[in-house]
Amino acid sequence: MTPHTTRTAPGGVIETDVSARLDRLPWGRFHTLVVLALGITWVLDGLEVTLAGALAGALKASPTLRFSNAEIGLATSSYLAGAVLGAVGFGWLTDRLGRKKLFFITLAVYLAATAATGLSWNLWSFCLFRFLTGAGIGGEYTAINSTIQELIPARARGWTDLVINGSFWLGAVLGAGTSLVVLDPALFGPDTGWRVAFGLGAFLGLVILFLRTWIPESPRWLMTHGRHEEAEALVAGIEARFRAEGHALSDGPFPKARLRQRSHTPLAEVLAALKIYRQRAWVGLALMSAQAFFYNAIFFTYALILIDFYGVPADGVGWYILPFAAGNFFGPVLLGRLFDTVGRKPMIALTYGLSGVLLALSGLAFQQELVTATTLTLCWMAVFFFASAAASSAYLTVSEVFPLEIRALAIALFYAVGTSVGAVGPALFGVLIEGHSRSAIFGGYLLASVLMIAAGVVAGIWGVAAERKSLEDVAKPLAAAE
């Protein structure tokens, strides 16, 4: 057996095959556990978002809170604003301090804040705790996306990332099911059920905290931060696990990367890199902004549409969210492999374009009163079958097309800008719904449609064909030495 070494060259430069060895691994139990322990972040976000929507009626009826539609929109925007600031702050720390430290810290913030949400006593306390919950989730996105990208083999990166992002909707199903139980007046009082729901979210976060204890630091992050011996030891340990499970692994030799050793990447170099990759930055911005507005505008106010326009009782909203969530989950699962085979650019353009067209048609049917609550839900299932894959591909794009040293911060910046745009959606649609004008709401849907179609065109022309390529080939590390 040929030993793999990470050799230090003169001048503080190392030669390492760590990345190539990670990419050559077959899919194994290790990857499955990584996906389960880290990918469950999207389940948490789906749970939070769905609870916020499904509990809207309960928050309006709460003897303590008595929220209006506009106040529910404000609370939703508070969650999104927290996600923006949390993503940026924790994203910078993720690149600076490491992936593993941050995916523990951000989860701890989430579970503490969502537990506190269940203790809210007025609008401002509720908005504050939702803001902090959002900060934890925003930080999770950056730490988790970067970790998963760096541990999953290149040939499976696209499908894996889309399925993980699509698991948001498993959380939505969980949230919808939870709402049906906690809003049952036979089980909980009008000011108790919604509090129990947020407490269950905190309990789930606590369980996940323990599941993550065995996840290693990213070897790719270690090798660019002067800790190449640790990176080598981690990869050797992962390989030993695969061999112990009966996998036959090639001994190489593998392509080596030459990297300058340093403890961190200077901020000036980070900003310079974003300027160098400005075309990719504009593509990422277009994709993230469009999908954020599209999703937040519609999904966060879905319960209000059902309640105010179709007379659906607040405790029955969950039944409509369940099939809607199923369409969203199966979109990435069934379409995901095409992003690795057909390619990133054509599939991103296709899913964004179809999402926009189908939303416009569904919005027109709503405006003309051609659909019932049930048929509108079926329309949303078709729209979001494609939109869910499109939104997931936006996160895939911004997490794989920038250099390793700034990957988490890049994810954070584009998530933050995109979510800032998206944060306008719930507040805007809350006001539109308050006015009870189907035509005005249809205008909002058309705006979301145009944004999606335009983003798809941008990606189709200027996107990056990153399918089946190693991260280092898609974007050379900033520490690369010639």
How does residue 453 score in pLDDT terms, banded at 50, 70 and 90?
Answer: very high
Query: Percentage of the chain surpassing pLDDT 70?
Result: 95
Q: How far apart are CA 341 and CA 354, in angstroms?
A: 19
Phi, psi of 16, rounded to the nearest 5 degrees: -140, 145
| 250-254, 299-303, 357-361, 474-478: least confident range | 299-303
Of 163 and 455, the structure prediction assigns the larger pLDDT to 455
Give the integer Cα–Cα distance in Å for 438 and 369.
9
Residue 50 has pLDDT above 50, yes or no: yes
From the list 76, 74, 106, the residue with the least C-alpha distance to 89 is: 106
> Looking at residue 344, what is its pLDDT?
94
| Count of beta carbons in the 10 Å neighbourhood of residue 434 | 14
Mean of pLDDT values over 189-217: 83
- The confidence band for 7, taking pLDDT boundaries of 50, 70 and 90, is low
- The pLDDT tens digits of the residues spanning 171-184 come to 878 877 777 788 77
Share of the chain above pLDDT 90, in %: 29
- Orientation angle between helical segments 193-211 and 99-117, nearest 10 degrees: 160
Q: pLDDT band at residue 365, thresholds of 50, 70 and 90?
A: very high
pLDDT over 90 (residue 145): no
In order of their start, the domains of the chain are 24-214 (1.20.1250.20), 267-474 (1.20.1250.20)
Tell me if 380 sits within 8 A of 324, measured CB to CB.
yes
Whether the pLDDT of residue 456 is over 90: the answer is yes
Q: Say whether pLDDT at 2 is over 50.
A: no
Over residues 226-235, the pLDDT tens digits come to: 788 899 999 9
Q: How far apart are CA 323 and CA 295, in angstroms?
A: 16
* 239 and 21 Cβ atoms separated by less than 8 Å: yes
pLDDT tens per residue, range 301-343? 777 888 888 988 877 777 887 788 888 889 999 999 999 999 9
Q: Which residue has the higher pLDDT, 26 or 412?
A: 26
Rounded to the nearest integer, the mean pLDDT of the chain is 85
More confident: 71 or 446: 446
Helix, strand, or coil here: 408? Answer: helix
Q: Sign (positive/negative) of CA torsion 435, 441, 442, 444?
A: positive
Q: What is the mean pLDDT of residues 62-89?
A: 83
pLDDT of residue 6: 53
| Phi, psi values for residue 215, rounded to 5° | -70, 130
pLDDT at 10: 44
Which pLDDT tens digit goes with each residue over 251-310? 878 888 888 877 666 767 777 887 889 999 999 999 999 998 888 777 767 778 888 889
Cα–Cα distance measured from residue 70 to residue 50, given in angstroms and rounded to the nearest whole number:
18
Task: Compute, in degrees rounded to 10, the torsion defined by CA atoms 389, 391, 395, 396.
Answer: 20
Residues 19-30 have a mean pLDDT of 91
pLDDT value at 4 more than 60: no
**CB-based contact 273:401 (threshold 8 Å):** no
Provide mean pLDDT across the span 71-83.
83
Residue 102 is classified by DSSP as: H
314-317, Cβ contacts within 8 angstroms, sequence gap of 24 or more: 314/56, 314/57, 314/58, 314/60, 314/61, 314/183, 315/57, 315/58, 315/179, 315/180, 315/183, 315/184, 315/185, 316/180, 317/53, 317/54, 317/56, 317/57, 317/176, 317/179
CA 149 to CA 218: how far, in whole Å?
Answer: 10
Maximum CA pair distance of the chain?
Answer: 73
pLDDT for res 326: 84
- Over residues 200-219, the mean pLDDT reads 84
DSSP sequence for 259-297:
EE--SS--HHHHHHHHHHTHHHHHHHHHHHHHHHHHHHH
- Determine the pLDDT at residue 263: 67
pLDDT, tens digit, 9 for 90 and up, residues 377-422: 999 899 999 999 999 899 899 889 998 888 888 888 887 887 777 7
The pLDDT of residue 240 is above 90:
yes
Residues belonging to the chain: 482
- pLDDT-derived band at 1 (thresholds 50, 70, 90) equals very low
Q: What is the pLDDT of residue 112?
A: 92
Torsional class of 114: left (φ above 0), alpha (ψ -120 to 50), beta (otherwise) = alpha
